[in-house]
Structure 1
Amino acid sequence: MTSFDDAFEALMGNEGKYSFNPADPGGETMWGITARVARAHGYTGAMKDLPRDTAKAIAKVEYWDRVRGDELPVTIAFQVFDACYNGGHPVEWLQQAAGVKVDGVLGPVTLAAVRALSPITIVARFDAYRLNYLADLGTWPSFGRGWAHRIANNLLKAAA
């Protein structure tokens, strides 16, 4: 099993299956993949029927590869990958956590800085930036409790 396979399995514990909450700006989702993202990747069926393998293939290209998950320490890669599903600015949070210039580009300078610090330090800082961002969203009253639990569980995974 690859780091991506492990991260995707762990992510399914956070994302669950089908969801269509009118308060969620992401809209209809299956396996954490929104209808907008699924359609952009060529899926034309009903979201309830989105195959898990299709969702996994989309996740690899859309989220894992874009944050260079294979080049990050496993513990950090999962945190950044998971954050891609909530929206926000995962690369910028990673750069803040690593103490480098925040430009939203995950390049060699960011990767080197991330690798130079303790993974738990990066994870703690990253999740703090993520939580601060989420707490400022207008949807916090509807989803904040779930997001806080999600991040707490992610921190427990990182510490295991």
Structure 2
Amino acid sequence: MTIDDLVDEAIGREGGFVDDPHDAGGATRWGVTERVARANGFAGDMRLLPRETAARIYRTVYYVAPGFDRIGAISMPLAELLFDTGINMGPETAGTFLQRALNLLNAGASLYPDLKVDGACGPKTRAALESYFQRRGKTGEGLSVLLWTVHGFRTARYEAISVSRPANERFAYGWIARQVRMGIAA
């Protein structure tokens, strides 16, 4: 899968214009919130946000800027999960999930040093990921355990935000169903 495939899939899944009063994200088109669109130079009516603008935002804000493109060079299934998580929760949150998972799975820092959990998927995070895959396997169980762990953090966050804002419960089933559709095993 390529970034173009991921972007096309995200835009197709997110659909056109939505302004659900129960959604704290507010007005969106193609899954891009008004806040993100404005921060990336779009000043028009959200109902008219061009697909090309949404695609550029997805590519730059949710894939390249957080370093998921470099993660994709190591493991595309992991980059796909981080990209999807970033769209839903923010790229920094997705990055923290990866760092927390790598710290949890490093056997008490005996496989590689613990990472500072800051959401930035830079050289240290990539080095830890490479070390993880060298020791645990880049496919099969090693990859599946890492993906499962990130999915677990994501599910726990859905629960936490639904507890803190009960209106989010109306979205929880769909959020978790999305993860199930993505699959957990590599």
TM-score by length of 2: 0.77
1:79-113 Cα offsets, whole Å, 9 max, x none, are 11111121251111011122242232212121122
Return the offset for 1:120: 2.4
AA partner of residue 71 (structure 1)? R
More RCO (CA 8 Å, sep 6+): 1
- Residue ranges of structure 1 left out of the alignment (5+ in a row): none
Pairs aligned (count)? 157
Find the residue that maps to 1:67 and give its secondary structure.
Answer: coil
Paired-residue identity, %: 33
Matches within 5 A, 1:7-156: 7-72=6-71, 73-87=75-89, 89-99=93-103, 100-101=114-115, 102-115=117-130, 116-117=132-133, 118-137=142-161, 138=165, 139-155=167-183
- How far off is 1:155 after superposition? 1.9
Amino acid at match of 1:121: V
Shift of 1:41: 1.3
Residue by residue over 1:35-88, the C-alpha shift from the partner in whole angstroms, topping out at 9 and shown as x without a partner, is: 111111111221121111110101111111122122111111111111112125
Distance in 1, matches of 2:38 and 2:157, equals 27
Instruction: Name stretches of at least 5 consecutive residues in structure 2 with no aligned partner.
Output: 104-113, 134-141
1: distance between equivalents of 2:10 and 2:173? 18
Whichever of the two has the greater Rg, that structure is 2
8 Å CA contact 2:67–2:122 kept in 1: the answer is no
Instruction: Write the deviation string for residues 99-148 of structure 1: whole angstroms up to 9, x where unpaired.
Output: 24223221212112223333322211111101101111124412101101
TM-score of the superposition, structure 1-length normalised? 0.88
